[in-house]
Amino acid sequence: MLRYTLGRLLSGIITVWFIATATFLAMHAVPGDPLMNEKATTAEIRENLARKYGLDRPLAEQYVIYLSNMIQGDFGISFTQQNRRVNDIIKDHFPVSAALGILAITFAALGGILWGAITALYRNQLPDIIIMFLVILGISVPSFVFAALGQLLLVNLNQWFGTSILPVAGWGTFSHMLMPSLVLGLGTMALLTRLMRSSMLEVVNEDFIKTAKAKGLSPQRIFFKHQLRNAILPVVTVLGPQIAAITTGGFVVELVFAIPGLGRYFVQAVQQLDYTVIMGTTVFYGAFLVLMVILVDIIYGFIDPRVRLK
Amino acid sequence: MNTTRILTEADFAPAPSKENLEQITRPSLSYWEDAWIRLKKNTRALISLYLIIGLAFFTLVGPWIWTKDPAAQDLDQISQAPALPKTALLVKDFEPSPTPIDINHPSEPSGYPDALDAVTNFTVQGTPTTQSVRLSWAPVNEAGGYSVYRSESAPDGMLGLGLPLASLTSGNIVGFEDRLNLKSQTYYYSIIPTDGFDEFDAVTTLEVSPQQSITVSQALERQLIDGDDRPGQTVQLAFHPLGTDYLGRDMLARLMQGARVSLFIGVVAPLIYVLFGVFYGGFAGYLGGTIDQILMRFADFVVALPFLLFMILFKIAFGIGPGESGVLPMLIALILLLWPATARLVRGQVLRIREQGYIEAARLLGGGPSYLIARHIIPNTMGVILVTLTFAVPSAIFTEAFLSFIGMGVAPPTPSWGSMCNEGVKTMLSHPHELFFPALFISITVLAFNLLGDGLTEALDSKMRSKE
Amino acid sequence: MNGPALLEVEGLTVEFETYGGTVKAVRGVDFTVEAGEVMAIVGESGCGKSVTVQSLMGIIPMPPGKITAGSARLNGSELLGLEPRAANAFRGKEIGMIFQDPMTSLNPTMTIGDQIAETLKVHRGIPDQQAFESAIKLLEMTHIPEAKKRAKQYPFEFSGGMLQRAMIAQSLACSPSLLIADEPTTALDVTIQAQILDLLKTLQARDSMAVILITHDLAVVARTAQKVCVMYAGQIIEHGSVDDIFYQSAHPYTLGLKSAMPSNVGDRDKSLNPIPGSPPDLFSPPLGCGYAARCPHAMRICHEENPPFFQDSLSDGHAARCWLQAPNAPVVPELYQSNKIASDGA
């Protein structure tokens, strides 16, 4: 298990290096002058700025500086907010996105497993039909529509009851998080419900369920000890990529609900062509996602002995 | 022995023939025939297939039938909800008229009044139209002026009076003409007497529903009339079955044009990257060994890139020049980022098929590599590739919509369903149809391709099952 | 035979509702199993062997499966149509069962020891620790080396043969009076097959437990069983002692099975004779004998009416569903026909 974990971490580091390099190359392929948007109009000031950000050096040298800074965990200084370090921007805004994402993935995973199990139990009966109809909606409707509808719902609810049941937008308290994270998790929840359902139905037909019946176990015991645990395994394997989908999907929800997360900041940075912020945020997100996938793999190892013991 | 009948010599005669031997054999079906039969039994998949054909018709043939220009702005009908064809009252062009004044009434109060009566006789002169609403009232004693307000909902006393239209500073003014951006809906006009500066607590409210109208010169300009028509007649306005957006552009025409962008990206990008993935993965799987290791390692790296962030990065890296729609950069970014999934899948398939006994058998019978690839490997991976392609379409459409929604997709004025949603969400509360229709089209398309994909997976299941 | 048998099955009929129609998988099967005897059910794939025993255990999927008629009594008490709770009282306790593929028949995410202990916990209410120790003893009983360590391992760490031993240990945990072994050696290597069969025989003899052994392998039957039922197209077409079946085959199908079996005694150069054709479609079973279409001796009546059992007049408990055993049927030299022998002798 230790060797497995170390191996995964090593390949993760190489992956992050690849992400950093790809980001660097993509950003340097952007046409036009990165200082174009600056207020600095005179050539002299531009030159000074270029020197400051190392833009006057050859590309290879810039790459080495960029990488060595990154290894030291320094993402540089923002182009548009001259006295703000990218590290500080990430430190300020990422926890907001992370809190939103963690709550969303929790909603999605718990909901997906629960609804999936219910649909499999009531296969082709009314609960199954209703839930699967909602699941199809959840998969087919874009996240931003859910976000807009969620906000609309809150507006109407608050109007209906005459008081603020949940805040419509903004950030700060737990109640601010509820609707955005629910909206953010909906698509993933629908996906996981589908997966859980088909996984449950597959496990029901496995030979070991027949063995469990032949052993004279109660249906409840078969369901919880034999069926559920095996059915959850494929759901856990997709959690890693789904965390990635949810984190980046947060952009829209952060925009719609006016949440000061890193996603909203990234979109803003792209609009202003803030090089260092774009690069720093991308590499940070990439590293975070790689870490998440590794984490999920390790958790999977604990659930599935076949992976753990190899 | 208790048999049911007495057995005779004839019963023990040899049976006439063996025509019943193997009577259960069914006519043999090819893999694709069998899959097609199973797909046809799947109602949901079949409905999806019809939906997709309908969407293709909507996109390709639609603009030939519904020829309205998607960029033309109909200023008479801005943000209009879906409705049947509308008519408008033809009215005379605007001619400035003097402010109506009651010359028998003093223009200023004699002193500083402690209280003023509410306005009486607050009525509309003539027919209220969307060109102008003429209000008139009887002057109030000791008033030094009047404030006029307009609201879209009924005010509650002095609350919710709405938009301040005018602050008249003469007590003997007895009329006001509202020409401010009127629509054919109900308005609540309120008038409050003032002493010339401050409003008094005495409000009179009037409910007015202006009739849709158009001036003669506007109608001529838009070619709705040919010159002979006279004011007072009604003319037919341009028809917008799905309403208009916030600039008065026809929603149906825009949805059709948007479909071209969304479906182009949604279909072409998967076609290209799945094809590339097939070659890449097939190549790696067929060659195997070190080359396979290197190729797949690279694919793993590309998979690890945070997808949406890199979509945005690539898009700005390719840049959008002035006047460009940004469709091409998005297409290229999608292809660059999404091919590895197909490559992995196809490689796995090829590796699995290579191990199968029938490949060995075909090789022993003298089948060369090209024969094996054409006759065995490609036909046996086609099912998986087809399913991948079907599921790739909705994800590409989602990506386009998502990026356009956060303003990183196609550039205005080119419409795509995603960018239409982006515009629609801003007026979601007042004009929900501007968000509803593009969102509906995205959802239906994604739904249809997903259900078709499910149906195909089931129909091709005999092969899919052995995938893992 | 005196006193009631351990298991009495009468007129068992099982159908499956499918999209294509109703499949009559088992069509009126009767048999009895005495305490302590090994009875084999043989037949080709799809003839209803597994469905027969699985419906006794109540583990066929219902729906689409349905037991439409028949009864099965274990020590006089009815097994069919029981409430789940009542059924669980005998499953795993009175009747143990082992399956064809040990690799997929054990839960991959539970240790072997826990799975064996589970049976004991559920049926005997034994506490966890004690149940696990009993599980280790059961593993030792099935000759699994280092049972203590093995009990803490997962199925994927076992070989096929070892897993089948673990399955046997699990099914014997509550010392059942009847063990159903559904093709226990089919998925295993030949050398392992012999070991598993020996183990089964030893344990059967030690506990004088009855065994129903399902197989399509006549060699396995010859090695282990005392009594044999031959099934074809959802019916038993011949039953009798092992000697009856092997040396006095009274049904052409039994003959066909025998000639399709490789043998290492006698003429080794003799080629194997597969039976031509395939079993009939059980969506609409034939009017007459199910085997008639493939039978080299088929007569007119064979296609018209399903034969009843004709009792072997010389051997008790040996009978065959074949018109050739009718008193006035023609003589077929290679077939055992007790009526002909009897009349010759008379």
Predicted confidence at residue B22, as pLDDT, reads: 47
ipTM score for this prediction: 0.81
Q: What is the mean pLDDT of residues A164-179?
A: 76
- pLDDT score recorded for residue A149: 86
Of the candidates C345, C313, C306, the residue with the CA atom closest to the CA atom of residue C327: C313
pLDDT of residue B93: 77
Q: Does C162 or B20 have the greater pLDDT score? A: C162
The rounded distance, in Å, linking the Cα atoms of B170 and B172 is 6
CA–CA distance, C228 with C37 (Å, rounded to integer): 11
User: Residues 6 or more apart from A181 whose CB is under 8 A from it?
Assistant: A100, A101, A103, A104, A107
User: Which of A219, A225, A303 shows the shortest C-beta gap to C84?
Assistant: A219
- pLDDT for B466 equals 32
- Per the CB < 8 Å rule, is C298 touching B2? no
Structure confidence by residue, pLDDT tens digits, C12-52:
888 888 766 788 888 888 888 888 889 999 988 778 888 88
Which of B17, B24, B41, B468 should be substituted to probe chain C, the one whose Cβ sees the most C Cβ atoms within 10 Å? B24
Asked whether residue A84 carries a pLDDT value surpassing 50, the answer given is: yes
Task: Mutate one of A125, A208, A209, A227 to test the C interface: name it (highest C CB count within 10 A).
Answer: A208
On the 0-12 / 13-18 / 19+ scale of CB atoms within 10 A, A126 is: exposed
Cα separation values, C195 from A196, C151, C191, C200, Å? 40, 20, 7, 9
> What confidence category does residue B53 fall into, taking pLDDT thresholds of 50, 70 and 90?
very high
Residue of B nearest to C326 (CA): B1
**Which pLDDT score is estimated for C345?**
42
Q: Which of A124, A211, A308 to mutate to test the interface with C (most CBs of C within 10 A)?
A: A211
pLDDT at B26 over 60: no
The answer on pLDDT for B314 being more than 70 is yes
Question: Tokens 């699967």 identify what position?
Answer: A132
Query: Cβ contact (<8 Å) for B11 and C301?
Result: yes
pLDDT tens digit at each of 346 positions of chain C: 455 788 888 888 888 887 667 888 888 888 888 888 899 999 887 788 888 888 888 888 777 788 888 888 888 888 887 777 888 888 888 888 988 888 888 888 888 888 988 888 888 888 888 888 888 888 888 888 888 888 888 888 888 888 888 888 888 888 888 889 888 887 778 888 888 888 888 888 888 888 999 988 888 888 888 899 999 888 888 988 888 888 888 888 888 888 877 766 655 566 677 777 777 777 777 788 888 878 888 888 888 888 888 888 777 888 888 888 887 778 887 788 776 665 554 3
pLDDT at B423 over 60: yes
Residue A31 pLDDT exceeds 70: no
**Closest chain C residue to A302 measured between Cα atoms?**
C109
pLDDT classification of B327: cutoffs 50, 70, 90: confident
* A165 or A32, greater pLDDT: A165
**Distance from C-alpha of B366 to C-alpha of C284, rounded to nearest angstrom:** 44
Residue B177 to residue B135: CA distance in whole angstroms = 6
Which amino acid, C221? Answer: V
What chain C residue is nearest to A221 in terms of C-alpha separation? C122
**Residue A200 Cα distances to A130, B454, C107, angstroms:** 18, 17, 14
The β-bridge relationship of strands C319-320 and C310-311 is antiparallel
Judged by a CB distance cut-off of 8 A, whether residue B114 touches chain C is no
pLDDT at B464: 41
pLDDT-derived band at A192 (thresholds 50, 70, 90) equals: very high
Total CB pairs under 8 A between chain A and C: 82
Question: How far apart are alpha carbons B9 and C269 in whole angstroms?
Answer: 39
C-alpha A149 chain-centroid distance:
21
| Mean predicted lDDT score pLDDT of chain B | 80
Which residues of C are less than 8 Å from B10 in CB distance? 300
**Considering only A8-22, A30-44, B305-319, C100-114, which range has the smallest mean pLDDT?**
A30-44
User: Which pLDDT does position B459 carry in this prediction?
Assistant: 78
User: Which of C235, C308, C210, C286 minimizes the C-alpha distance to C30?
Assistant: C235
Q: Residue B409's closest CA among B327, B308, B337, B307?
A: B327
Contact B463, B31 (CB under 8 A): yes
- pLDDT tier, A114 (very low <50, low <70, confident <90, very high otherwise): very high
What percent of chain B shows pLDDT beyond 90?
Answer: 3
Contact B15 C292 (CB under 8 A): yes
Mean pLDDT of A138-164: 83
User: Average pLDDT, stretch A122-151?
Assistant: 87
Is pLDDT of B59 > 80?
yes
Whether the CB-CB separation of B353 and B381 falls below 8 Å is answered with yes
Please tell me the distance from the alpha carbon of residue B281 to that of residue A102, in angstroms, as a whole number: 35
Tokens of B427: 């007026």
Q: What pLDDT score does A111 carry?
A: 93
Asked if the Cβ–Cβ distance from A210 to C105 is below 8 Å, we say: yes
- pLDDT tens string C296-333: 888 888 888 888 888 887 778 888 888 888 877 788 87
At position B372, the amino acid (one-letter code) is L
- Kindly report the nearest CA distance between residue A278 and chain C, in angstroms: 44
pTM: 0.78
* Per-residue pLDDT at C338: 73
Confidence check: pLDDT of B4 > 70? no
Q: Give the pLDDT mean for A75-84.
A: 76
> How confident is the model at residue B435, as a pLDDT?
85
Percent of chain A scoring above 90 in pLDDT: 7
Nearest-5° Cα angle at A24, A21 to A29: 125
**For the segment A211-220, what is each residue's pLDDT rounded down to a tens digit?**
888 888 888 8
Q: State pLDDT tens for residues B340-397.
A: 988 888 888 888 888 788 888 888 888 887 888 777 887 788 888 888 888 888 888 8
Is residue B365 within 8 angstroms of chain C, CB to CB?
A: no
Q: Is residue B93 packed enough to be buried (19+ CB in 10 Å), middle (13-18) or exposed (0-12)?
A: exposed
